[in-house]
Structure 1
């Protein structure tokens, strides 16, 4: 299973989503620090690096405000939810490199940052109205 976000990481991630949706650009490291009362820009940078390592953002050190929210569609109050097209049976390895993409949905329908979709392949669940190509 993908690494879970800490409470602070989750708060920073949702702040990035909200700020970017409302302003059409990302907050600066100082903006993030101010929002969360973190004085050290290094600490904020480390938080962003952790979000990148866990597959929620990409960082571009060559750009000012160089954060790319993976799967973000810029719609207000939405959240990108990863989907996986092919996984092996048993304990799934939901790693960022196995991700097929994102589906952006209203955040009210996302109970936690651990939510993901799987794309159904085959017709073994057709009796339950789950068809080939559906997302579950």
Structure 2
């Protein structure tokens, strides 16, 4: 088991993950220093070396970007998946300014290359195992089948519901305390964002980390 990270080490490690997911290469020592307001490159190097000693990264000391995250493979075994804080009411529904972060996922958990995360709010689907605050992995290119759980934009709202079709009409049903189904036809303002393929939940809140200066 890896030794626990200090608050600064944890922040730097998460920054490395997010940066690599978005750029496909690692930040330089100076870029890390600017991000965390650490003036000394020696201090940054010490943080990186500690991450290496604890087994989270591997380093090539002679290179400015000489960091490899352990468990991250350039062969495609890990895939960055975007997490969106909200969905636009008009196209494009998912935009960069609404993207909260990237999440590095083992590819075996990612159903399609266009998959994304949404953070669920509410208790309408608890009987299907979806709780308030869960992360939902949504697959836009997976075709929804009768009884699937889908994320749908209805007007300015995003709902997670069980889908069914009745001819040209789509019905969305909840499982907890909302007996009224929502029926949507061709003239209604809605869009099925994708099929919910997985639900992720943390059992404990992450501790807040105070800002760190070098």
TM-score (norm 1): 0.57
**1:78 and 2:72 are equivalent in the alignment:** no
Deviation at 1:61, TM superposition (A): 1.6
**Structure 1: segments with no counterpart, 5+ residues:** 82-102, 113-136
What is the RMSD of the two structures over their aligned residues, measured on CA atoms? 2.7
Deviation at 1:64, TM superposition (A): 3.1
Q: Distance in 1 between matches of 2:109 and 2:21?
A: 13
Larger Rg: 2
**1:31 and 2:56 are equivalent in the alignment:** no
Counterparts in 2 of 1:80 and 1:61: CA distance versus 1, 3 Å = farther
Q: Is the 8 A contact 1:58 1:70 kept in 2?
A: yes
Name 2:163's counterpart in structure 1.
Answer: none
Name 2:53's counterpart in structure 1.
Answer: 53
Which aligned runs of 4 or more in structure 1 are off by greater than 6 angstroms? Answer: 103-106
Q: Is the 8 A contact 1:78 1:104 kept in 2?
A: no
Instruction: Compare the two structures and name the one with the higher strand fraction.
Output: 2
Name 1:66's counterpart in structure 2.
Answer: 66
TM-score (norm 2): 0.37
Relative contact order: is structure 1 or structure 2 higher (C-alpha 8 Å, sep ≥ 6)? 1
The secondary structure found in structure 2 opposite 1:22 is helix
Deviation at 1:50, TM superposition (A): 0.3
Deviation at 1:110, TM superposition (A): 7.8
The secondary structure found in structure 2 opposite 1:30 is helix
Name 1:16's counterpart in structure 2.
Answer: 16
Matched ranges for 1:94-109 at <5 A: 109=200
Instruction: Compare the two structures and name the one with the higher helix fraction.
Output: 1
Question: How many residue pairs align between the two structures?
Answer: 90
